[in-house]
Amino acid sequence: MRRFFRTYLPFSRAGVQMMLAYRSDFLFHLIGEMLMCIVMYFVWFAVFESSNGSTFMGFSMTDMTVYLFISFVTSYLTYSDGAIALGEEIRDGSIVMRMIKPVSFDMTFLFQELGGRCIEVIIALVPMCVCVEAYKFCVTGSVMFNPVCFLLFLLSTVLAYLVSFYFNVCYGFTAFFLKNLWGSNVLKDAIISFLSGSRIPLAFMPPLLQGLLTFLPFASLSYIPVMIYMGMYDGMTIFKSMLLQAFWLLAFWALSKLIWRLAMKRLCVQGG
């Protein structure tokens, strides 16, 4: 185990350094996403203003605000694009440079990305949670921070990230057929942002669709951690939801291994 971390932690360190090398790019991206989030806030604000009751589908404006910002930071943190690079490397054959090293490919990508995630937790997650809690205090006049919920939220976010990572590894392999991932990537992100509830809470969907979407892997990507953070789930639901996340993690992990083995056979074609 120690050897495992000794081998892969340098990848995380390199990931941090690479992020710092392109720090302005990272900051602009973060600011851009933030602005989008603020726009969404005003859209929902207008919806609540024009509706008759103070709640909408069981959400108050305060709930909605917390949902928007926590959901934003969760999907930001669980977004994984290192695996797209894997697809690129398979396509152009530079994957061989990883194969001549005594390491696992998915682990090198995972740890490299985790390095960057550590910085994002400090720069994005911590300030965001502080702001959200301060906002809740201002509106309700009492401290409602629940450390147990927060810890469970963190755990669920880690699971969500891993599901996202292996989902994207599988997606990265489509590079074999699609040759260029940019266009399909935009499509995939749009579908995910809708189906995972990161734009509109799944609770707002028609019951049938909601039931279906809760079990699909997309809810595991950000909706479950956010619900846990907001205290919307009771103990049993939290347990079941995390189990579901673990199931999808296992499923995508196994699928990625299977595809990898098939991909190795195809890799022959790219040789030469």
Partner 1 sequence: MIYVDNITKEFKKTIKQPGLLGSFKSLFNPKTEKIKAVDGISFHVPKGEILGFIGPNGAGKSTVIKMLTGILTPSSGTCSIDGRIPQKDRKNYVREIGVVFGQRTQLWWDLPLTETYAVLKEIYEVEDSAYKRKMELLNEVLDLQDFIKSPVRTLSLGQRMRADIAASLLHSPKVLFLDEPTIGLDVVVKDNIRRAIAQINAEEKTTVILTTHDLSDIELLADRIVMIDKGRNVFDGTVGELKQNYGQMRELNFELQRAEDKALLDYGKHFGLGEDDLKVISDGVNVTVRFNSELVPVGDMLSYTLSQVHLSDISVKDADIEEIIRRLYKKEVRIDA
Asked if residue 1 binds partner 1 (CB under 8 A), the reply is no
From 10, 26, 40, 184, residue interacting with partner 1 (rule: CB under 8 A): 10
Question: CA nearest 156: which of 212, 78, 210?
Answer: 78
Under rule CB under 8 A, residue 269 binds partner 1: yes
Q: In which residue are the tokens 């039931």 written?
A: 211
Least spacing, CB of residue 184 vs partner 1, in Å: 16
Q: For partner 1, which residue of 85, 103, 139, 155 counts as binding (CB under 8 A)?
A: 103
One of 4, 6, 167, 186 touching partner 1 (CB under 8 A): 6
Binding mask 50-89 for partner 1 (x = CB under 8 A): ----------------------------------------
Q: Does 18 bind partner 1 (CB under 8 A)?
A: yes
**What crossing angle do the helices spanning 61-78 and 105-120 adopt, rounded to 10°?**
140
Cβ atoms of 54 and 231 within 8 Å: the answer is: no
Helical ranges in 179-234 per DSSP H: 182-195, 207-215, 217-221, 223-229
Question: Binders of partner 1 among 104-143, rule CB under 8 A?
Answer: 104
CA–CA separation, 207 vs 44, rounded Å?
Answer: 21
What is the residue whose two structure tokens read 């509109």? Answer: 200
- Interface residue with partner 1 among 1, 97, 208, 236 (CB under 8 A) is 97
d(CA 115, CA 112) in angstroms, rounded, equals 5
Where along the sequence are the contacts to partner 1 (CB under 8 A)?
A: 3, 6-7, 9-11, 13-14, 17-18, 21-22, 93-94, 96-97, 99-104, 267-269, 271-272
